[in-house]
Amino acid sequence: MNSDKGIVVFEPTDNIKLVKVKLNDIKLLGKKVHCTYPNRIHITPIDCNRFNYGKPGGGGIGFAIKSKNSIDIKLSSVMKYSGPKNIQPIATRSLYLMSTLLGLDNKFSIKINLAPEVLGHAGLGSNACLMTAICASINTLYNSPLNVRNLMEIVGVNFAECYKGKCVLGLETGVGPATTLLGGFCLISMDSIVVWHHKLDFMPKMFIVNTQIKRPEFEGSEDDIMLKRSLYEDTKSRGVKSYEILMDLLPAISKHNLKIIGDVIWNIQFSGTHLSMIQRYNMFGKEIYSLLCKSKANNLEIIGLSSVGPSVFICSSEPDQVVHFLRSEGMSFLETEVQSDALAPEILHKGEYINGY
């Protein structure tokens, strides 16, 4: 473990926290597990004053979106990795975490394919979703000794970001693991507690805009610098935000009311954490706010920045209108849907465990 400009950097297998859980029977069910997994849209944290490195905090709301990400894990005589080099530390950490927690002697070969439109550090939860999917896949391969709550907890306290081929502690609200595992929309409180869940299967097509706007550059920890203003802004807005989520957003989701859903999400863009994050961009967020406001002017119901961006999500009862608008603006975008169903890793070669693999 060492320090780089005040950032604590460590090996993927270091800083592992084992959570005390009651394990169901651990039994190897096959030789290989395949999993396609979603990305997540993080609409907002509840209060970033409750963030905590190395422990889920701050709460939040968000939902899962369908993506072509996939993982293949199989038993192997040696540890092997195939996939994008920049995410290898997360894969290594996830496998080591599950092997240590479950007391596994097996070694694994892992192959990761990321959807080409899914960019790291674009606000789509790439690391949190990947770590959750790997842990869930190993769990399925061994007869699911951990339940959903257990998985969320162990990912939350062991979450890390990649940094120069190693790891640094990251901030995790619990929205990423929850939406990856459960699908749909989740309202998360402290310690990754799922307060409310909805499949969100009534939503029209979802558009994820690759704004190609450059994220802010920071000297030192990006999380720390962005949080300085966010702490102040969320102190002012957390009460109003919580009220609108409880009294307006959740009923609107239950009633399938796109307009009110969009109104609440729109208000979030101009207060609290989102205000501070967007204003960290060039010219106090002029480019992002310009896109958001143009979308609103075109009567598109749901518009927002996911996490710290720069990805923007748009949803409307008139999908063709969204396509027309984005093409007229010259924007690159992904047309997808809400991932309503729970994560479902599939065991291949079930019951065919053979010595030598």
Buried b (16+ CB within 10 A) or exposed e, 314-341: bbbeebeebeebbeeeebebbebbbbbe
Does residue 277 sit in the same domain as residue 295? Answer: yes
Do residues 57 and 93 share a domain?
yes
Give the model's pLDDT for residue 220. 47
Spatial distance between the Cα atoms of 356 and 191, rounded to a whole number of angstroms: 41
| Range from 13-22, 280-289, 338-347, 348-357 that averages highest in pLDDT | 338-347
Asked whether residue 133 falls in the same domain as residue 226, the answer is no
The answer to whether residues 248 and 256 touch, using CB atoms and an 8 Å cutoff, is no
Distance CA 150, CA 50 (A): 21
248 and 299 co-located in one domain:
yes
Q: Is residue 68 part of a domain?
A: yes
Q: Which long-range contacts (CB under 8 A, 24 or more apart) does 284-292 make?
A: 287/211, 287/213, 288/211, 288/213, 288/312, 291/209, 291/211, 291/329, 291/331
Same domain, 289 and 269: yes
Greater confidence (106 vs 200) lies with 200
- Does residue 127 form part of some domain? yes
Over the stretch 12-30, which tens digit does the pLDDT of each residue have?
A: 999 999 988 889 899 999 9
Task: Say what the pLDDT of residue 43 is.
Answer: 97
- Is it the case that residue 71 has pLDDT exceeding 80? yes
Number of domains in the chain: 2
Compute the residue count for the chain.
Answer: 357
Average pLDDT over residues 138-145: 97
- 289 and 161 assigned to the same domain: no
pLDDT score at 120: 63
Let me know whether 239 and 251 are in one domain: yes
User: Residue 308: which pLDDT band, with cuts at 50, 70 and 90?
Assistant: confident
Alpha-carbon span 180 to 172, nearest angstrom: 13
Going by DSSP bridges, is the β-strand pair 160-163/302-305 parallel, antiparallel, or unpaired? unpaired
Same domain, 132 and 184: yes
Q: Is residue 356 part of a domain?
A: no
pLDDT at 278: 87
Residue recorded with tokens 């599950």: 98
Q: Is residue 11 part of a domain?
A: yes
Q: Are residues 157 and 243 in the same domain?
A: no
In a domain, residue 355? The reply is no
Residues 12 and 108 in one domain: yes
* Full-model pTM: 0.93
Say yes or no: 52 and 185 in one domain.
yes
Residue 127 is part of a domain; what is its CATH number? 3.30.230.10
What is the CATH classification number for the domain harbouring 329?
3.30.70.890
Residue 357 falls inside a structural domain: no
- pLDDT attached to residue 217: 64
Domain encompassing residue 50: 2-198+340-350
Residues 191 and 250 occupy one common structural domain: no
- Quote the CA–CA distance of 67 and 70 in Å, as a whole number: 9
Smallest CA-to-CA distance from 45 within 272, 323, 279, 313 is with 272
